[in-house]
Structure 1
Amino acid sequence: MTALTLAGAVVVGLTLGLFGGGGSILTVPLLVYVAGIPATSAIAMSLFVVGVTSVVSAAGHARAGRIRWRTGLVTGLVGAGGGFLVVPALVLLGGMPMSTAVATSLVVIAMKSFAGLAGYLQTVPVDWSIALPVTAAAVVGGLLGGWLAGRVHADRLRTGFGWFVLVMGGFVLIQQAPPTLFHTAWGVAVSLACAAAASAGIAYLLLCRGRHGDGGALRAGELHRT
């Protein structure tokens, strides 16, 4: 267990809590290439990490009344896609606000993760001495992401989600690079630095530009009243 693994887990939780997606696609490479866990065990462990983080993050969203429980449960039962598919579908087809779609997506992700984990636990061992600390770090990130999601304007959240999907597309392409690249300290450092930089950039875009926009609207309202 390294500080790099825990830092990566916080990033994973942040993306889940803020965008309602990006869990397993980040967790599996983190566990394989940084923590050195065999691929099959990493998949099983990622389901536990993502499932628990989604539940905790969803609890925060639920307290704020942002979850459409019926939609989430039905979507989870029919097994429809991950966050990258669920969130846009709920916004474009279901007419949900972005923050509500993100929160509802976490319910779907949690259901699918625990269903998949139940199958893996029958045959695949999980090293709980690694799984539990990684999960705890991811939960911290998930709580932070949920806090941010409740304070970002819907338009900014949609913009951030679009950039996030674009970054994840690039991440998938990077995964097609020679496996030996990720077994070097340089390859791991570059990958995590890119993920952290992307998360920081998106958070800055959402928070700082959102504040400027709100401030501009406030000033315009004041001028109108005068």
Structure 2
Amino acid sequence: MLISILGFIAALIIGIVLGLTGGGGSILTVPVFVYLLGIDPVLATGYSLFVVGISSAFGAIKNLQKGLVNFGASLVFAVPAVIAVFSTRKFIISAIPNVIIKNQHMLVTKDAAIMVFFAILMLAASFSMILNNKRLVARKMLTQPKKTNYLTLGALGLFTGLVTGLVGAGGGFIIVPILIFLAKLPIKKAAATSLFIIALNSLIGFLGDALQIEIDWMFLLSFSAFAVLGILLGISFSKFIDGAKLKKGFGFLVLIMGIYIFYKEMMM
């Protein structure tokens, strides 16, 4: 009972961070499911897709109402991404053997491999949140806009969909820079469009799981409700709290957790 309560409190905190910073909080969803609630890593990545998708959808709806979503860039990026994430959940995840490597020196299981890959993603996300990229972005904004590279944008959409499908994270820290530098979108529109893409990727990717495994809908909807409540609180708090500074501090938390997960899985 206590563990369940802590899990829902964690969902609330994840939502608040998402509401305050516009991204990043969802990367804690899988560790909460696996290490706090004891859910199997493969199932946890599927559950995470649903939570991330529902949470992002609330933000995306607000952005749509404000006219901040670029549908052209969304279409080019999201179509291959959605195909990749659905195919990964439906076919690739189930095709990976439970024991990948087994000999007298090493044992690598499917669950461990997924969590190690997730830890690497967490480290990459933490550096993205911690490092100050304002100068780089400002330099880009001063240059003359070039023609959008749709071919590269679509290829990176495919890659992002694969990553999202494997680890169940939204990938906003990957998508936003791509939309800024390849789709030539202003920062605010890139963030809004990213949230729209994440919602599509995550929810359609989750269908790949929903079609083949049994889902505890009562738990999943309850967890998602707390995350959404957190987002609404975070949006309200954002008027009084500096989201940029919070995101940098949160980046250090993600860094520490990524190192912990990597160490824990490698030492097992």
For Structure 1 versus Structure 2, the TM-score category normalised by the shorter chain is 0.5 to 0.7
Corresponding position of 1:21: 23
Aligned partner of 2:192 in structure 1 is 103
CA deviations on 1:115-166 (whole Å, 9 max, x unpaired) are 22111122222111210110001111223444566x59xxx76666555555
| Aligned residues of 1:66 and 1:104 also touching (Cα < 8 A) | yes
In structure 1, the partner of 2:256 is 170
1:76–1:90 distance in 2 versus 1, CA, 3 Å: same
Match of residue 66 from structure 2: 64
- Provide the C-alpha distance between the structure 2 equivalents of 1:89 and 1:176, rounded to a whole number of angstroms: 27
2:230 to 141, 146, 159: 141
Q: Which runs of 5+ in 2 are unaligned?
A: 82-156, 161-170
Can you list the C-alpha shifts for 1:46-101, whole angstroms capped at 9, x where unaligned?
A: 11111111111211222333322332233222322320111122234444343332
Residue of structure 2 equivalent to 1:43 = 45
Say if 1:83 and 1:120 are closer, same or farther in 2 by CA, change over 3 A.
same
Give the aligned partner of residue 216 of structure 2: 127
CA contact (8 A) 1:10 1:138 kept: yes
Q: Determine helix, strand or coil for the equivalent of 2:263.
A: coil
Higher relative contact order (CA 8 A, sep 6+): 2
CA separation of 1:33 and 1:167: change in aligned 2, threshold 3 A? closer
How large is the RMSD of aligned CA atoms in angstroms?
A: 3.0
Secondary structure at the counterpart of residue 196 of structure 2: helix
Q: Distance in 1 between matches of 2:194 and 2:229?
A: 19
1:84 aligns with one of 151, 168, 173: 173
Distance 1:93 1:159 in 2: 27
Gaps of 5+ in 1: 182-226
Q: Encode CA deviations 1:148-199: one digit per residue, 9 max, x unaligned.
A: 66x59xxx766665555554343322211326x9xxxxxxxxxxxxxxxxxx
**2-structure distance, mates of 1:173, 1:93:** 31
Secondary structure class of the residue paired with 2:222: helix
Query: Contact 1:50–1:110 (CA<8 Å) still a contact in 2?
Result: yes
Q: TM-score, normalised by structure 1?
A: 0.65
Q: Calculate percent identity across the aligned residue pairs.
A: 35
Q: TM-score normalized by structure 2? A: 0.56
After superposition, the Cα gap between the structure-2 partners of 1:75 and 1:145, relative to the gap in structure 1 and judged at 3 Å, is: farther
Task: Please say if residues 41 and 125 of structure 1, whose CA atoms lie closer than 8 Å, have aligned partners that are also in contact.
Answer: no
Deviations 1:105-124 (A, max 9, x none): 11111111122211112222
